[in-house]
Structure 1
Amino acid sequence: MFRKPQAKPRSLIHSVLSLIGWCGSLGAIAVSVLGLLAFLAPDVWLADNMSFFLRQFLAAGLAGCLGGAAGFLVRHRLRLIYRLTWFVAVIAFLSLAGFTGARTLANTKPLGPAAPGDRPLKIVSINLEHLFLGDKVLQAFLEKEQPDVVVFQEVLWWLQERRWQRLGLPTGGAGENGFPEYLKVGDLGGLAVYSRFPLTSEETRVISGDVPPGANVYYDGDRELLSLSVDTGSAPLHLLVIHPDSPRSKIRWENKRRYFDEADNVIDTLKADNGSNILAIGDWNSSPWSARFQQTLTRNGLKTAYPDGWPQTTRFFFDYSLHWILGAPVDQFAVSRDIQIVNVSLGPDIGSDHLPLIVEIAQTPTN
């Protein structure tokens, strides 16, 4: 009788590479599908929120595909199924990369210089996350940048007033420590604008929002939308300060979409009255890959740009040193086509959980 030869036991390295290959390929498929949901089902709360994490999904998908490729260094018992799995992983990853790249380029505008002799208008947008306006790090940043306009979100103006009063200083600090001299605060106290130019045509629109079950006592579903004109002396800049609800639950996601609808209405009015020199800026609580964000830009003929040409983290979690891993690009701006974008950059960590967004523009002068 002949005995069937026993299979040679697999080495540890063989087993590890096989495991890496399978886990990498299956993981790449999983994260790519999650990312693709943002494009395939943008009107579903959970799917739309996947757009916040596309950079992380792309990084994980690439790592998974490379891990799957490493699996080809060893033989698999299910070779055909393994090859098919890795091929699907690569296709899913490339699809996600293609959709993400296309949406990144959508409604973007190349940077260009200002006219010779003209000084660009510098606008800084910061979500304070309740940081005190008298904070020394914040003031040092503003003194260094010397912005023409500063747009703040999550100000909690009533709390700011108490802090200034406790220090025995004038409320707001306009005209000092890097803050421009003209000041406008929204009716709800959540938004504030400082400008070195006079502010006119001021209007605050309050968008009512629903309160989700279990919300803490400090949560307020109502959000304000601040619209005003900045009299630059050459052409009024029509400024729209944006800060919708954060879509952490379905109810708050619906609040955000109602806010975007109202922002569209305000921009319609601005275009009908003026038609040019419109800047919408702030914490949009949306990634640039959100279909609703891009819809507002497309509908209103607005353009945007990103620091170094690619969306970067502006809102980080836990610690700034982890901002590339645990963060999302949510602070955005958009301008009408007649405005030339000269430069876009991010400021340093100033103590908030958002980085300052710095935008320099050149306006179309009036005739």
Structure 2
Amino acid sequence: MLSFVTRPLRQFFPTFASLVCWCGSLGALTFCILGLSAFAAPDYWFADNMSFFLRQFLVAGLLGCLAGTLGLLMWHRLRLIYRTVWILAVVSFLSLVGLTAARTLENTARIETPATGEKVIKVISINTERMFLGDKRLTAFMERQQPDILVIQEALWWLQERRWERLEHPIGGLGENGYPDHVEVGASGSLVIYSNFPIRLENSTIVLGELHDTASVIHDPDRELLQVSLDTGARDLKLLAVHPDSPRSLVRWQNKRRYFDEADNVIQELQQSSDDPLVVIGDWNSAPWSARFQQTLSQNGLKTAYPGGWPRTTRFFFDYRLHWILGSPVDQFAVSEGVKVLNVSTGPDIGSDHLPLIVELELPSPGNN
């Protein structure tokens, strides 16, 4: 009787192990092909959006390849096919690793040490997701950081004004709770720039987008580019705040591409008009591995950098504790030639679904770029 019971168990475990190894190899191949599509077909909506998940695909591909490797020690009915699938999975994984690493380094500046006596400028970018700028978690973060420049996306400024008025507080909170002394608000009220340096508005450009058929009334397809000039004392700094549409549908992806085209035009005009250093920063709604994001950097001679040398999650879903699994690095910055990148980091959870991006820069001396 005992032999009758244990015989099926002895048959089950090898079969189950074989199935796990098959699933590992097939899963690794599938995830790696999805990741490779971001490089092979970047001008297609689905493939371009796969660039958001390359870190997850790499982890899944590695685990799948390891499981598939264990399967080489087992007997399979379709042994030749299994080996072929495993080889394809490993080749796809290694290709994805190489392409991802190359894309990460493509337009990346090295982190430098500050020159003696030169001023370090701290710039922080946050998509506040319409949260009140007087929120205690946010103001506590600002008080700790004391930024020279603060760039906010999705500010919903008209609502901010109403809340400050209702609380009988000064509108904008200028010079309080770590907020810089000057502020410039974009035409739509979505982009806001605070600065300890005097601000001169250059332009606030509205990029018109098409409304998706199923979009909620909250979603605004029109996005703006806010460009200002900051008098840092030694020389002016050109700052361009960006926030294109999120490409979660084909129409919104097309909106984002249209926005990027306009951003390229603005950047080129700024660079042609003067040799002042330029910083472009905000929620780009693009992963660093997006070909379109890298195209903007390459054709405009801009550089970026990442915390610890590797892109980290800035936009997360559902819960901050899951940000490594359900999240993507979409908040970026770029600087023109001559601007030194001294440090890049991400801040803590401040109540938004984005983490703050913290960048420390050193501007070139007048006459040097």
Length-normalised TM-score, structure 1: 0.96
In structure 1, the residue corresponding to 2:209 is in which secondary structure? coil
Q: Is the 8 A contact 1:313 1:323 kept in 2?
A: yes
1:78 aligns with 2:98: no
Q: Is the 8 A contact 1:283 1:332 kept in 2?
A: yes
Deviation of 1:251 after TM superposition, in Å, equals: 0.5
User: Cα deviations across residues 278-311 of structure 1 (Å, max 9, x unaligned)?
Assistant: 1000000000000000000000000000000000
- 2:284 is matched by which residue type in structure 1? W
Q: Is the 8 A contact 1:279 1:333 kept in 2?
A: yes
Partner of residue 145, structure 2? 145
Partner of residue 89, structure 2? 89
Deviation of 1:276 after TM superposition, in Å, equals: 3.9
Q: Is the 8 A contact 2:346 2:358 kept in 1?
A: yes
Within-5 A mapping of 1:40-55? 40-55=40-55
Q: Is the 8 A contact 2:235 2:276 kept in 1?
A: no
Unaligned runs of 5+ in 1: 1-7
1:194 aligns with 2:194: yes
Partner of residue 277, structure 1? 277
Paired with 2:365 and 2:87, the residues of 1 have a C-alpha distance of 55
Deviation of 1:162 after TM superposition, in Å, equals: 1.1
Matched residues, percent identical?
61
In structure 2, the residue corresponding to 1:229 is in which secondary structure? strand
Paired with 1:297 and 1:144, the residues of 2 have a C-alpha distance of 31
Partner of residue 300, structure 1? 300
Partner of residue 4, structure 2? none
Paired with 1:241 and 1:299, the residues of 2 have a C-alpha distance of 18
Within-5 A mapping of 1:173-184? 173-184=173-184
User: Cα deviations across residues 315-348 of structure 1 (Å, max 9, x unaligned)?
Assistant: 0000000000000000000001110000000000
Aligned residues: 360
1:361 aligns with 2:364: no
Paired with 1:255 and 1:156, the residues of 2 have a C-alpha distance of 20
Paired with 2:209 and 2:313, the residues of 1 have a C-alpha distance of 27
- 1:216 is matched by which residue type in structure 2? S
Paired with 1:103 and 1:275, the residues of 2 have a C-alpha distance of 28
User: Cα deviations across residues 101-132 of structure 1 (Å, max 9, x unaligned)?
Assistant: 11000000100012102231000000000110
- 1:357 is matched by which residue type in structure 2? L
Partner of residue 289, structure 2? 289
Deviation of 1:155 after TM superposition, in Å, equals: 0.3
Partner of residue 56, structure 1? 56
Partner of residue 226, structure 1? 226
Q: Is the 8 A contact 1:314 1:354 kept in 2?
A: yes
Length-normalised TM-score, structure 2: 0.96
Unaligned runs of 5+ in 2: 1-6
Deviation of 1:230 after TM superposition, in Å, equals: 1.0
Partner of residue 209, structure 2? 209
Paired with 1:316 and 1:77, the residues of 2 have a C-alpha distance of 43
Within-5 A mapping of 1:287-366? 287-366=287-366
Paired with 1:70 and 1:284, the residues of 2 have a C-alpha distance of 41
Paired with 1:358 and 1:250, the residues of 2 have a C-alpha distance of 31
Partner of residue 170, structure 2? 170
Deviation of 1:200 after TM superposition, in Å, equals: 1.3
Paired with 1:220 and 1:138, the residues of 2 have a C-alpha distance of 25
Paired with 1:115 and 1:270, the residues of 2 have a C-alpha distance of 27
Q: Is the 8 A contact 1:307 1:345 kept in 2?
A: yes
- 2:15 is matched by which residue type in structure 1? S
Deviation of 1:275 after TM superposition, in Å, equals: 2.8
- 1:231 is matched by which residue type in structure 2? D
Q: Is the 8 A contact 2:236 2:276 kept in 1?
A: no
Partner of residue 238, structure 2? 238
- 2:74 is matched by which residue type in structure 1? V
In structure 2, the residue corresponding to 1:11 is in which secondary structure? helix
Paired with 2:81 and 2:140, the residues of 1 have a C-alpha distance of 60
**Cα RMSD between the aligned structures?**
1.1
- 4+ aligned runs moved over 3 Å, structure 1: none
Partner of residue 3, structure 1? none
Paired with 1:276 and 1:313, the residues of 2 have a C-alpha distance of 31
